[in-house]
Amino acid sequence: MIDQRLLHRRAAQGAIAMVCVTLALVVLARFTGGGTDYRPEGETVAAVDLLFTDEPGGAVAVFNADTGAEIITYGENEGVFVRAVMRSVARQRRMRDQGPEIPVRLERLENDQLWLTDPASGVDFYLGAFGPDNTALFDEILAAESGIITAQAQGDRP
């Protein structure tokens, strides 16, 4: 039979070892910066402030917050990733008693990173972390906005 004192001693040694390993990992993470938030680095090369509105029939319209120009409208089954990100933004805002009237900022950095920043909740989304197909939807918004600005500069209507 197993000696109960030996069993309790092994359990205590295991618990002490786990505490020591945990403490060592915390110290390592603290001194190396591991586990900290990833923040944008680099200069902004393109940016737009956006407002999103729910439209009849399940559509979602995306507007330039500065000019009021409509950039793109996603039908009921389109732009699923954009909708998911904006639901997350809306949830963060509800938790902080913020409404939809404050625009979010979509930025492309010089290193080609794409970020969505919500100043109302303080949440940043590194969109590249979600894969190229999902990032392409926000690329589409930025490209459409760039096309609107170019058309307006040339005197054409968007």
pLDDT of residue 158: 45
- Per-position DSSP letters for 43-63, written without gaps between them: -EEEEEEEEEEE-GGG-EEEE
Q: What is the pLDDT of residues 2-23, one digit of tens each?
A: 677 766 888 888 889 998 888 8
Find the helix or strand (DSSP H, E) in which 5 lies: helix 4-32
Q: CA nearest 141: which of 91, 82, 89? A: 82
pLDDT of residue 138: 92
Q: Return all residues near 99 (Cβ < 8 A) that are at least 6 apart.
A: 93
Mean pLDDT across 142-155: 61
Whole-angstrom distance, CA of residue 81 vs CA of residue 138: 9
pLDDT of residue 148: 56
- Burial of 108 by CB count in 10 Å (0-12 exposed, 13-18 middle, 19+ buried)? buried
- Of the ranges 5-14, 58-67, 75-84, 121-130, which one carries the lowest mean pLDDT score? 5-14
Q: Is 76 a residue whose pLDDT tops 70?
A: yes
Whole-angstrom distance, CA of residue 12 vs CA of residue 23: 17
pTM above 0.85? Answer: no
Q: What is the pLDDT of residues 96-111, one digit of tens each?
A: 888 888 999 999 998 8
Whether 19 contacts 11, CB under 8 Å: no
* 3-state SS assignment for residue 137: helix
Sort residue 39 into left (φ over 0), alpha (ψ -120 to 50) or beta. beta
